[in-house]
């Protein structure tokens, strides 16, 4: 197994973090991985907001409560930090990276107008997630939060689109991957050689 294959398989979503701070060198290595990500025409439109101060993390607690009235309430209860003022999907991460892109800085397809920003930002976040594993850190990719609330609370500039968040830190003692974490569909369900599957194929 290559080092990279091993790294990919070791990574899992961490939903319970220790309060031990992340060393600056490790955080910088993660941010450096973002810098080396490929982006369309090398425009590098990613804008990454690094949140570490208690006031900033309090804001995350506020805007990741989105959906708390729905089916995620049980998830929130399981993963909330004891003693915090909100039920949230914050998981206690000491570092939160808010991954955005600048709409005015990214490439757009000349005919369709489709912008590369979301793809660029996704590749950037993936680089950071894998580098976090290489640095011995845990991470969680978060899409389930209120982006409008995040924009308002964090004063995100109008030209920036908020794409995702990455929670970062050391896993708490006893943290284990979620039950379904290590399961993946067989290749035959998702990859097709030369022709797409016929409609009567039973998956
Ligand atoms: C685009 C994307 C969005 C995700 N959003 C969330 C989220 O909002 N909250 C969460 O707890 N996990 C989130 N995850 C983590 C996935 O649930 C997780 O990657 C998946 O269940 C596979 O588990 P693994 O990462 O442990 O291999 C997200 C992952 C991706 C790639």
Contacts of residue 10, Cβ cutoff 8 Å, sequence gap at least 6: 133
Ligand 1 mutation pick, 128, 141, 181, max ligand atoms within 8 A of CB: 141
Mean pLDDT of successive 10-residue stretches along the chain, which has 203 residues = 95 95 98 98 98 95 68 53 61 96 96 96 98 98 93 98 98 91 93 88 57
The CATH number covering residue 150 comes to 3.40.109.10
Quote the ligand 1 centre to 75 CA distance (angstroms): 13
- Does pTM top 0.75 for this prediction? yes
Which domain range does residue 134 map to? Answer: 3-177
Q: Provide the number of structural domains found in the chain.
A: 1
Quote the ligand 1 centre to 145 CA distance (angstroms): 12
Directed axis angle between helix 54-63 and helix 147-154, to 10°?
150
User: Which H helix or E strand runs over 165?
Assistant: strand 160-169
Q: Is 108 inside any structural domain?
A: yes
Query: Could you say which DSSP state residue 15 is in?
Result: -
Ligand 1 atom having least distance to the Cα of 122: 1
């Amino acid at each position: 197994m290559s080092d990279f294959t091993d790294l990919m398989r070791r990574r899992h979503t961490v939903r319970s973090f220790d309060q031990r701070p992340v060393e600056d060198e490790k955080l910088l290595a993660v941010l450096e991985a973002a810098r080396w990500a490929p982006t369309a025409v090398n425009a590098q439109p990613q804008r990454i907001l690094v949140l570490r101060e208690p006031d900033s993390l309090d804001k995350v607690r506020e805007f990741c409560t989105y959906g708390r009235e729905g089916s995620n309430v049980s998830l929130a209860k399981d993963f909330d930090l004891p003693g915090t003022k909100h039920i949230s999907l914050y998981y206690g991460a000491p570092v939160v990276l808010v991954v955005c892109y600048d709409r005015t800085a990214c490439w757009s397809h000349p005919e369709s107008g489709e912008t590369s920003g979301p793809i660029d930002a996704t590749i950037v976040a993936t680089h950071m997630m894998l580098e976090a594993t290489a640095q011995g850190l845990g991470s969680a990719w978060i899409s389930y939060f209120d982006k409008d609330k995040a924009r308002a609370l964090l004063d995100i500039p109008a030209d920036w689109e908020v794409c995702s968040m990455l929670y970062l830190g050391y896993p708490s003692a006893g943290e284990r991957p979620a039950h379904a974490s290590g399961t993946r569909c067989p290749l035959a369900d998702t990859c097709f050689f030369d022709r797409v599957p016929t409609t009567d194929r039973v998956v």
